[in-house]
Structure 1
Amino acid sequence: MARRSQQPSDARRRGQRRDRSRVRERGIASVLTRAVRDVERGVQQGRVTPALRAKVQAIALLMRQARADIKSDQSMSNNRRAGQLERIEEVAANLARAAAREASLLELLAEDAVVSDEARVVKREMVRDAGLEAEFDDVASTEVVPSEPATQRRVVPQSVVSRKLANPFLTPDFSAVGQSRSGPRRLESWELLGPLFRSFESASDGAPACMTLPEPASVQVPGELELMPHQASLIASVASGHRTFLLADEPGLGKTAQALLAAQAADAYPLLVVVPNVVKTNWVHEAGMWTPKRSATAIHGDGETIDGFADIVVINYEVLDRHVGWLGDLGFRGMVVDEAHFIKNKSSQRSQHVLELSDRIRSRVVRPLLMALTGTPLINDIGDFKAIWQFLGWIDDKKPLAALMDSLEDTGLTPADRGFYRAARSSVIDLGIVRRRKVEVAADIPSRRIADMPVELSEEAGRSIRETERRLARRLLSRYEKALEAREPGVVIDGIDHDLVRLVAKRERDYEAASDSEDNVFAMMRRIGQAKADPAADYAAQLARSVGKVVLFAKHVDVMDRAEALLTQRGIRHVSIRGDQTTKARQQNVEAFSEDPDVAVVVCSLTAAGVGLNLQAASNVVLAELSWTDAEQTQAIDRVHRIGQTEPVTAWRIIAARTLDGQIAELIDGKAGLASRALDGSAHEGSAAVDMQLEALIGLLTETLSSSH
Structure 2
Amino acid sequence: MADAAIIDAPQADADPSDILAPDASAEHPSRDRDALIPQLARAVRQVEAGVKRGAASRSTRVKLQVVAMLAREERARVRADSALTDAQRAEDLKRLDGIAMILAKAASREPTLLPLLGEGAPITDAVRERKREMLLAAGLEPEVEQQSAPEPESSEPLAPQVVPPSVRRVQLAKPFLEPDFSHIRRKPERDRLAGFDLLSPLYLSFEVAADGKPACMPLPEPQRRIAPGGKELMLHQAQLVQSAREGHRTFLLADEPGLGKTAQALLAAQAANAFPLLVVAPSVVKINWARETERWVPGRRAAVVQGDGDALDAFADVVVVNYEVLDRHLSWLERFGFRGMVVDEAHFIKNTRSKRSRHVLQIAAALRERIGNPLLMALTGTPLINDIEDFGAIWRFLGWIDQKEPNAELTDDLEEIGLTPMDRGFYPAARKAVIDMGIVRRRKIDVASDIPARRIADIPVELDETEVRSIRAAERDLIDRMLRRYDAALLQRTADHDAAIDDELIRRIARSEVETQEGGTGENVFALARRIGRAKADLAADYTAQLAHSVGKVVFFAKHIDVLDTAEQKLAKAGIKTVSIRGDQTPTQRQRAIDAFTTDESVQVIVCSLMAAGVGVNLQAAADMVIAELSWTDAEQTQAIDRIHRIGQSMPVTVWRILAAQTIDTRIAELLDAKAGLVGRAIDGTTGDEPTSGDLRLEAVVGMLHDAVAARARRA
Using structure 2 for the length normalisation, give the TM-score.
0.48
Q: Which has the higher contact order (CA 8 A, sep 6+)?
A: 2
